[in-house]
Amino acid sequence: MRLGELCKGLMNIPAGCGELDVSEVVCDSRKAVEGSLFLAVPGETTDGFLFAREAVSNGAVAVIAPQGGCGETSLGVPVLEVEDLRGVMGDVADRFYGEPSKELEVVGVTGTKGKTTTVWLLHHLFSRMDSTAGFCSTVENRIGEESSEAKNTTMGCLDLHRFLAELVEKGGRRAVIEVSSHALEQQRTASIRFDCAVFTNLAPEHLDYHEDMDSYLAAKMKLFNSLDSHAYAVLPRSQEVSKVIAGNTLANLSWYGRGSEDGVTGIRVMDEGMEFTWRDCRFSTGFWGDHNLENLLAVLSAGECMGLKPDEMAAAISEARLPPGRLEKIDHPGPYKVVVDYAHTDGALEAVLEALRPVTPGRLITIFGCGGDRDTAKRPRMGKVAESGSDRVILTSDNPRSESPEKILSEIKAGLERPEEATLEVDRRDAIGLGIRMAREGDTVLIAGKGHEDYQEFSDRKRIHFDDREVARDFLQEVCHV
């Protein structure tokens, strides 16, 4: 594509440069190849323009930089300056990849909790109706049967447009994108045309980044502010902030909830899952929890907005399972349950414990910790929730990063009313073994915080392989003599 065609109307193009052929668009200088257009995106800790020379040496034929960001530097290639580089990046990517979101039905899912599960279940519905559906999430990115590792909850802007273009090329019709508040603040979804946006809930999280709840909500609302009048906003009736979102979007509104006013009756929880009636159709699931019922109702409402019928969704949902690391049961022959879950906030942990209590005739044994270099205010809150919802609590490490694990456990312990009854075991492997050996018939052992993650992160970004599910299976083989 010619540079002039790519950037027309977005910025001033130096005379004689419009005919330059652009073979690729990159914001990572290491990925620049012959004919690339390099976008020198400013980062949180460094200036993207510092890498422009490397991009040019790798073959970049032009650079887009923030207004006034290049000073007197001469690179030997045209430098196009813009005021809002992140916003322009979405327009450039959209043009370069052929406006892929115009060819697709795109659903975005945002909120504090439940995003991954909602994306996963919605993709399950779409894939049953259309074999080549795609999704991007915390757990993985997928097009049809092809899966790739997810490095972030939401891909970078260029990668996201490239992903959608690949989905179009492979014959896909629908895409579901997990949209984080960070992604919205950083305009990673810029120029994507969403046909539907789903809001799950809002609870304290990422306040080390957003500073306060008003700023956090404002970030989430950017997804709904971007919708036009043909799109749908799917909102939970139980959330007070839904009214604020509803008053600030042009989209058609679709409300969901667990009450009869939203068409839900006959909720029944069993050891093997849940049943309920919605839109006069009976649904059965292989998982538990009010929070997962809310997620599923968001999925059904979004599916209805996208033209799916209740009866065909009921058939598909009966086969659905939760994403890896979300209330994931570890199979073993023992007379108790072992469950791994990603819950790493007080609200998420509370929801998981409430989901497990009705299917736990014995004790709930909870093993968890809190991440280092992250929101410290939630640590005592998580301790309080774990104590009130569990019969036994084991505090342990969970990605301590640069912080002392003992310090983190001490801050969690500060939220306990009966700290002397809790067990502290810094080594996460030993903590999991302790919890499993403690279990008796009818008990449930919950290993919370990491879910699908397969690493522990320490100082200097050092990572070691660590998967709660693998560790639990090792101990279960020992205890159950499998």
The whole-number average pLDDT for the span 227-256 is: 97
pLDDT of residue 275: 97
- Report pLDDT digits (tens) over 15-61: 888 999 999 999 999 999 999 999 999 887 788 899 999 999 999 99
Residue 208 has pLDDT above 90, yes or no: no
User: How many Å apart are CA 32 and CA 202, to the nearest integer?
Assistant: 39
Q: Give residue 91's pLDDT band: very low, low, confident or very high (50, 70, 90).
A: very high
Residue 481 has pLDDT above 70, yes or no: no
User: Which string of b and e fits 233-271 if b means at least 16 CB within 10 Å?
Assistant: bbbbeebebbeebeeebebeebbbbbeeebbbeeeebee
pLDDT of residue 480: 85
- Report pLDDT digits (tens) over 324-364: 999 999 999 999 999 999 999 999 999 999 999 999 999 99
Residue 73 has pLDDT above 90, yes or no: no
pLDDT of residue 43: 80
Q: Give residue 454's pLDDT band: very low, low, confident or very high (50, 70, 90).
A: very high
The whole-number average pLDDT for the span 261-265 is: 94
Q: Considering the domain 100-317, what is its CATH architecture?
A: 3-Layer(aba) Sandwich (3.40)
pLDDT of residue 110: 97
Strands, DSSP E only, in 53-173?
62-66, 79-82, 105-110, 134-136, 140-143, 146-149
pLDDT of residue 482: 55
According to CATH, the topology of domain 3-84 is: 3.40.1390
Instruction: Give residue limits of the domains in the chain.
Output: 3-84, 100-317, 328-480
User: How many Å apart are CA 202 and CA 223, to the nearest integer?
Assistant: 14
- CA neighbor of 132 nearest in space, from 177, 170, 178: 170
- Report pLDDT digits (tens) over 304-323: 999 999 999 999 999 999 99
**Can you give the C-alpha Rg of the chain in angstroms?**
24
The whole-number average pLDDT for the span 174-201 is: 96
What end-to-end distance do the CA atoms of the chain give, in Å?
60
Residue 72 has pLDDT above 80, yes or no: no
Q: Name the percent of the chain lying above pLDDT 70.
A: 98
Long-range contacts of the stretch 63-69 (C-beta < 8 A, 24+): 63/37, 63/38, 63/39, 64/7, 64/11, 64/37, 64/38, 64/39, 64/40, 64/88, 64/89, 64/92, 65/40, 66/40, 66/42, 69/40, 69/42
Mean pLDDT (the chain) is 94
CATH 3.90.190.20 assigned to domain 328-480? The reply is: yes
The SS3 call for residue 200 is coil
* Pairwise pLDDT comparison (206 vs 42), residue with the higher score: 42
pLDDT of residue 207: 67
Using DSSP bridges, classify how beta strands 328-329 and 337-341 pair: parallel, antiparallel or unpaired: antiparallel
pLDDT of residue 224: 98
The one-letter amino acid at 205: E
Q: Name the percent of the chain lying above pLDDT 90.
A: 89
Least confident range of 10-19, 161-170, 202-211, 285-294? 202-211
pLDDT of residue 441: 97
pLDDT of residue 165: 98
- CA neighbor of 116 nearest in space, from 88, 89, 136, 94: 136
The whole-number average pLDDT for the span 85-91 is: 94
Using DSSP bridges, classify how beta strands 337-341 and 444-448 pair: parallel, antiparallel or unpaired: parallel
pLDDT of residue 71: 60
